[in-house]
Amino acid sequence: MKNIFLCILTLSLLACGEKSTENNTSNQEPTPVKPADNGKGVGEIKEVTLNDPLNEEMIAGGQAIYDLKCSACHKLTNQRVVGPGFAGVTKRRKPEWIMNMITNTDAMLEKDPQAQALLEECLTRMPNQNVALNDARNILEFFLNNDKSQ
């Protein structure tokens, strides 16, 4: 009786350990495809119409917000303080990207490759300043004026 039990146990163990030669690729999840980076960033701003000539009231409004919320960490030159300097930002980035970074900071830092590269460079996460869309547009106008004068 012992021998029969050992035989059955051995056959069971061998049967359980047998490898299947079937290809089980149908159970694998497909690799998600990243959307192409259009340079506009992540957020609700999809299209920005620029003023020509620049709007002086918007520039003044943008400067006031910059002075209040941005100047502690960013300079208007190439100098990096905590964050990168803003000189030439409107030449390097699309207007939509700039406004999305201002208004949708957390999602940009999580999903946008350009924002992630800046985070790696500066090593400090930009805080969300809760800037309204019209204020972000004024800041953009201020940046455009800053880059025009350089």
Percentage with pLDDT > 90 across the chain? 74
Cα–Cα distances (Å) from 75 to 84, 96, 108, 116, 123, in that order, read: 8, 21, 21, 20, 17
pLDDT at 26 over 90: no
Residue 33 has pLDDT above 50, yes or no: no
How large is the greatest C-alpha to C-alpha distance in the chain, in angstroms? 99
* CATH code assigned at 117: 1.10.760.10
Smallest CA-to-CA distance from 106 within 135, 129, 86 is with 129
Q: Does 12 score more than 60 pLDDT?
A: no
pTM listed for this prediction: 0.75
Task: Answer whether residue 128 is part of any domain.
Answer: yes
In a domain, 26, yes or no: no
What is the arithmetic mean of pLDDT over 124-137? 96
Rounded to an integer, the average pLDDT of 49-73 is 98
**pLDDT for residue 29 is more than 90:** no
The answer to whether residue 37 sits within a structural domain is no
CB 99 within 8 A of CB 39: no
Q: What is the pLDDT of residue 63?
A: 99
pLDDT at 31: 47
Q: Which of 14-18, 34-38, 83-87 has the lowest mean pLDDT?
A: 14-18
> Per the domain annotation, does 133 fall within a domain?
yes
Q: Is residue 23 part of a domain?
A: no
In a domain, 125, yes or no: yes
Q: Is residue 31 part of a domain?
A: no
Domain count, the chain: 1
Residue 18 domain-assigned (yes or no): no
Domain range for 131: 56-148
Q: Is the pLDDT confidence value at 102 over 50? A: yes
> 80 has which bridge partners?
74
Q: What is the pLDDT of residue 37?
A: 73
Please write the tens of the pLDDT for every residue from 65-91.
999 999 999 999 999 999 999 999 999
